Every structure is written in C-alpha cells, then in structure tokens.
C-alpha cells in the first residue's frame, strides 16, 4: 500500500490526521500514534481495539443512511484508517458567518443524521460542529473515535449536550436558533423516542459538574 | 506586612498542622496520621485520634518553627471536601485558635490547596492538574476565576481502587505503596478493563476484575497490571485535556502522586509532546497542613475571610465551586 503525504490536517492528543495520495485518489489517513508511557502490549491492544472499533462505527453509521466517509483500508496493528476525503467547509466554519436561512436546512439535516444514529443505538460521543463537513447538500459526520453501540439514553443525551455546548461556546449569538433547527430535524426523524433523550439533555445540563458558572 | 498562617488539615486520615509565612516558606509541617488496625478509615475513629493529638501537635508545630502563637496573623483550615467528623475536628480547632487570638479565619478547599502547593513548590504557573488521591480523581485547570473540572472518575477514585484491592488481597492500608512495591516483581500484564470516556475514566470494572483474580493469578502480576492499566487511563485523559486546552504544563498532585510509576508515565507523556511535567516532593503530595496554610495566605492576600457563622464544614465541596480570586488577572482569567 503506497500512501504519499500531501499535507498534515490535524494533530490531536491521540491521533494524527493527514491528507494523502493513495493510488491517485486523495484520501484521509488517521493514525493513532504509539504512546511511550504505556507498556507495549497494552499500547498495542488499545490502538488495535480503537482503530477497529472506529472503522466499524463509521461503516455501520453509513449502512444506516448517515453520511460518513467510506472506509477504504484498516490496519489495526499500525493503528491506521484510510478513508474517503470529504472536501468542504466544516459546519463550525459556516455556523458563524453563513446567513441563518442557509443554515436552517443544514442543522435540520444534522438533526436527522443524529436521530438515525440514535435510533440504531449509536452514540457519536463527540458531535461538535468541527466534526461535521458540508459537501454539496449533505452533512458528513466524521471522527467516530468515541462512538459507542449499543448506547443508552444517557450517551444519546450527552451527544445532544456536547452539540449544544459546542454551539454555545463557538457560535454564541446564534446558538439558540441553530439548536432549535437541530431539534426540529431530530424530533421529526426520531418521533416519540426523542422525548426521553431531550428530557435527559435537560437533566445533564442541570448536573453540578456541567453547570457553567458566570464569574 | 509579614504574615504567619497556621494551616489545619483534617479531611481524612491525617491531622496536619503547617506554618507558612507570606513568602510561602514553610516553617513547620507536623502530621499525625490515623492507621486503622483493620479495614479502611473509620471516620469517627480518625476524628477521635485527631482530637486527642491536636494539643500536642500544635505545640510541636510551634516549637518546630520557633514562632509563638502570638506571631500568628491568620488561621486557615480544610473546610471540605472530606469526612464529616474529621473536618469538624479540624474546624473546631481552627475556630477556637482564631477567636482566642483574634486573628482572621479562612476556610480552604482541600483540593485547591493541593493545586496551590503544587504550583508554588512544583514551579508551575498555569498547568493542567492531575489530582489523584484516595477520594478524588480529577483533571482540572484554571479558567475565568475558578478551577474547572475537565475530566474525572465516574465512580471510584484511583486511590480508592488501589486501597480496596489491597484490602481484599490482605495488603493493609494504605494500599498504594504495597501495590507499587509488588508490581516491581510483576512479569506479565494481564488484560483488564480499560475505560476512558472522553476526558472521564471509570475504575469500578477494574476493581471487580482484579478482586476476582486474587486466587487465580500471581499477586505481583495483578499489581503490575492494575497499575499499568489504571495509570495509562489517567495519563491519557490528562494528555487529552492538555491538547484540548492547549496548555503545556502537567502538574501531578494528591496522595497517589507519590507513586513512582505514575510520575514516570506522566513525565514520558510530557516529553513526547514537548510539554513540561511538574510535581512536588512526595511528602507534599500527601495531605499536609502546609498546603492549607499556603492557600490561607493566598486567600488573605485578596482580602478573603470566613466568618465563624459561615465556617461550617462542607464535606462535598467541589473544587469548581471555589472562587480563586488570587489568580484573577493572571493566565486564563
């Protein structure tokens, strides 16, 4: 397998993400780096488990009709996932500057995507606006590194909470309106099952550790 | 003006009396530690030990420092979080000294004190803090007037994990040092539950599994596996918080911070990401009165005072409910 680096995209605590050329295609490579502080066998196990799990979650989500990058290759030993490159702005980039009228269908679409995941008991784990990419009419959801299945109402409620907090911190002025559009798409797709999760969202927001204190 | 603060620590097993001056210099560090004969800490027994040693320990701290009670300008005490009976004993001591000498009283958050002593003596200005002890496991950092919790255990603390396992294996209390000693003769790392959720961790599965292995595996191997797994989880969430907050200092504090392997792992992680690792000598990681006195000095420098009417203990006082006004205007404020 020949991968040629085009450029680095992101360096996180756990993984590095780069844009590469693979057989003439532009692909994204996510590589979990070995950690020197962990004993080798434990490190290998963690990297292999997470790599396989993330690839599986990406594929399952796609199988249920949510837009996610195609997984092209997985190497659990090296901790590598090669996936389709989704070219487009992140929702985070758009949310502050695009006109609200244009953002409405985008956020309703995100609501529908998250509802489909939750109906299939997949919780994304980190659905911030920087993990969503707009290409054409559709919003692709990326980074399933913290995803879980089967998930419970608690994890789904946390998904909504993470999104709401991301909106509040990064796009404060319009966060209410954007979240409202999200909820309308979410509720429309998930129906009655959404009530328990939205109720849990309120509970999570009220918990002490999560409450933002104005200073 | 030169200040002298008496700090009284009494959250769990240790009655600590510390004398610190306004430069942050420790003039006395006296400790009386409760050792249960069987099992873990019995709160009422621990409090009784503290009450019976209070007078003698107080005299010892003054003779160690060479100061006299009349030199005191301030009395601070651990107001929480901690075990109710122990906290009340320390608070009673603090109130009586404060009102007898007519000097201000300051209730200090125990966890904030661990952080402040780490910043002062570990030479770290604006770190991500890994606070690990018998009762707490949190990843903390300062932002906008408060120490905020970015990650924490969803069930038991890491010190509690080590103590509970050690008790089950007949290793005595506290369990951490014995687990560390045995782990150095461990040969094989056994597969154990590794539970990291974002910046949070969970240890209860690890405890259940290791308890069940006591009769089937070498104790040294269990200790090694337990440490490696639990500490890897802690270092991973610390690194995640550092990346998230873009901070390049990690400060390790709290009783479990004396563990050599945990220190080594934190240092390796920091080296790999070009960050710096800070901690204090093991003695100051453990509960002590110096950190309470030091925090008293800091709080007093911005005019804080705890009137007796508001000096009731707060056994469940969370670190993120504590105003840290002395850091306002500094980094992250």
**pLDDT band at residue A209, thresholds of 50, 70 and 90?**
very low
Considering chain A, what is the average pLDDT of its residues? 91
With tokens 């559009």, the residue in question is A181
Catalytic residues of A: 126
Query: What does the pLDDT read at residue A215?
Result: 31
Interface test with A, best of B140, B143, B196, B232 (most A CBs within 10 A): B232
Architecture of domain B4-114+287-327: 2-Layer Sandwich (3.30)
In chain A, which residues have their Cβ closer than 8 Å to the Cβ of B146? 213, 215
What's the CATH number for A3-84? 3.30.200.20
Task: Copy the structure tokens of residue B234.
Answer: 């802690």
Phi-psi region at B24: left, alpha or beta (left = phi > 0; alpha = psi -120 to 50): left
CB B194 to CB A46 under 8 A?
Answer: yes
Query: What does the pLDDT read at residue A170?
Result: 81
CA separation, residue B191 to residues A3, A114, A149 (Å): 33, 34, 22
Cβ contacts below 8 Å, chain A against chain B, sum to 61
Task: Look at residue A214 and tell me whether its pLDDT is greater than 60.
Answer: no
CB B320 to CB A42 under 8 A?
Answer: no
In chain A, which residues have their Cβ closer than 8 Å to the Cβ of B321? 208, 213
Question: Which of A33-42, A131-140, A160-169, B71-80 shows the lowest per-residue confidence on average (mean pLDDT)?
Answer: A160-169
In chain A, which residues have their Cβ closer than 8 Å to the Cβ of B145? 215
Residues forming CATH 3.30.200.20 domain(s) in chain A: 3-84
Query: What does the pLDDT read at residue B176?
Result: 94
Instruction: For residue B225, give the chain A residue with the closest CA.
Output: A42
Measured distance CA(B33)–CA(B15) in Å, rounded: 6
Instruction: For residue A38, give the chain B residue with the closest CA.
Output: B232
- Least Cα distance to B192 among B153, B164, B231, B154 occurs for B231
Task: Look at residue A208 and tell me whether its pLDDT is greater than 70.
Answer: no
Shortest Cα–Cα distance, A115 to chain B (Å): 21
Q: Domain boundaries in chain B?
A: 4-114+287-327, 124-279
Name the packing angle between helices B219-245 and B260-272 (round to 10°): 40
Q: What are phi and psi of B302, to 5 degrees?
A: -110, 15
CB A13 to CB B265 under 8 A?
Answer: no
Note whether A129 and A152 are within 8 A (CB): no
Distance between first and last Cα of chain A: 54
Question: Which of A23-37, A154-168, A184-198, B273-287 shows the lowest per-residue confidence on average (mean pLDDT)?
Answer: A154-168
Interface test with B, best of A13, A44, A211 (most B CBs within 10 A): A13
Note whether A51 and A82 are within 8 A (CB): no
Query: What does the pLDDT read at residue B329?
Result: 61
CB B265 to CB A126 under 8 A?
Answer: no
Residues forming CATH 1.10.510.10 domain(s) in chain A: 91-210
Query: What does the pLDDT read at residue B1?
Result: 65
Note whether B169 and B144 are within 8 A (CB): no
Q: Which helix (H) or strand (E) holds B86?
A: helix B84-101
Task: Look at residue A213 and tell me whether its pLDDT is greater than 50.
Answer: no
CB A41 to CB B266 under 8 A?
Answer: no
- Please tell me the CATH superfamily of domain A91-210, with its number: Transferase(Phosphotransferase) domain 1 (1.10.510.10)
Q: Which residues of chain B have pLDDT under 50?
A: 332-333
Could you give the count of Cα atoms lying within 13 Å of A88 in the half-sphere of its Cβ?
A: 20
Cross-chain CB nearest to B265 (options A14, A37, A146): A37
In chain A, which residues have their Cβ closer than 8 Å to the Cβ of B320? 209, 213
Cross-chain CB nearest to A37 (options B240, B242, B269): B269
Query: What does the pLDDT read at residue B47?
Result: 96
CB A126 to CB B198 under 8 A?
Answer: yes
CB A146 to CB B197 under 8 A?
Answer: yes
Give pLDDT tens digits for A81-125.
Answer: 999 999 999 999 999 889 999 999 999 999 999 999 999 999 999
What global pTM score does this model have? 0.89
- Please tell me the CATH superfamily of domain B124-279, with its number: ATPase, nucleotide binding domain (3.30.420.40)
**pLDDT band at residue A212, thresholds of 50, 70 and 90?**
very low
Q: What angle do CA B144, B110, B97 make, to 5 degrees?
A: 120
Cross-chain CB nearest to A209 (options B149, B197, B235): B149
Query: What does the pLDDT read at residue A210?
Result: 42
CB A38 to CB B232 under 8 A?
Answer: yes
């Amino acid at each position: 397998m020949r991968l040629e680096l085009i450029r680095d995209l992101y360096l996180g605590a756990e993984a590095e993400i780069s844009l590469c050329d693979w057989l003439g295609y532009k692909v994204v490579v996510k590589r979990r780096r070995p950690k020197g502080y962990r004993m080798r066998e434990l490190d290998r196990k963690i990297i292999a488990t997470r790599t396989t799990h993330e690839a599986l979650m990406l594929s399952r989500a796609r199988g249920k009709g949510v837009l996610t990058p195609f997984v092209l290759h997985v190497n659990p030993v090296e901790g590598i996932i090669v996936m389709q490159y989704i070219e487009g702005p992140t929702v985070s980039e758009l949310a502050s500057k695009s006109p609200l009228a244009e953002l409405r269908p985008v956020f309703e679409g995100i609501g529908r995507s998250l509802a489909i995941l939750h109906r299939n008991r997949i919780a994304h784990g980190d659905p911030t606006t920087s993990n969503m990419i707009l290409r054409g009419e559709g919003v692709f959801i990326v980074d399933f590194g913290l995803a879980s299945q089967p998930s419970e109402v608690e994890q789904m409620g946390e998904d909504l909470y993470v999104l709401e907090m991301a909106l509040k911190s990064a796009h404060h002025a319009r966060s209410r309106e954007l979240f409202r559009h999200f909820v309308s798409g979410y509720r429309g797709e998930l129906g009655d099952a959404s009530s328990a999760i939205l109720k849990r969202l309120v509970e999570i927001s009220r918990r002490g550790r999560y409450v933002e204190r104005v200073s | 003006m030169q200040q002298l603060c008496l700090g009284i620590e009494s959250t769990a097993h240790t009655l600590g009396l510390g004398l610190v001056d306004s430069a942050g210099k420790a003039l006395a560090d006296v400790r009386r530690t409760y050792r249960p004969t069987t099992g873990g800490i019995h709160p009422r027994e621990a409090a009784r030990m503290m009450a019976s040693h209070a007078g003698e320990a107080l005299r010892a701290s003054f003779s160690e420092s060479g100061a006299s009670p009349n030199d005191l300008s301030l009395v601070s005490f651990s107001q929480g979080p901690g075990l109710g009976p122990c906290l009340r004993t320390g608070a009673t001591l603090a109130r009586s000294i404060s009102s007898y000498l007519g000097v201000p009283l300051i209730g200090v958050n125990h966890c904030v004190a661990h952080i402040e002593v780490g910043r002062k003596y570990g030479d770290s200005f604006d770190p991500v803090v890994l606070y690990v002890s018998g009762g707490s496991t949190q990843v903390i950092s300062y932002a906008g007037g408060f120490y905020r919790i970015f990650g924490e255990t969803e069930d038991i603390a890491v010190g509690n994990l080590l103590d509970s396992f050690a008790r089950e294996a007949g290793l005595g209390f506290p369990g951490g040092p014995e687990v560390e000693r045995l782990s150095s003769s461990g040969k094989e790392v056994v597969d154990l539950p590794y539970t990291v959720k974002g910046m949070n961790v969970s240890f209860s599965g690890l405890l259940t599994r290791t308890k069940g292995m006591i009769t089937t595996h070498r104790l040294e191997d269990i200790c090694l596996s337990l440490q490696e797994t639990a500490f890897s989880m802690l270092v991973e969430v610390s690194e995640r918080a550092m990346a998230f907050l873009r901070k390049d200092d990690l400060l390790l504090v709290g009783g479990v911070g004396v563990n050599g392997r945990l220190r080594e792992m934190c240092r390796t992680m920091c080296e790999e990401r070009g960050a710096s690792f800070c901690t204090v000598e093991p003695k100051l990681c453990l509960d002590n009165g110096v950190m309470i006195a030091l925090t008293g000095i800091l709080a007093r420098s911005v005019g804080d005072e705890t009137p007796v009417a508001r000096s009731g203990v707060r056994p469940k006082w969370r670190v993120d409910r504590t105003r840290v006004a002395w850091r306002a205007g500094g980094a992250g404020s």
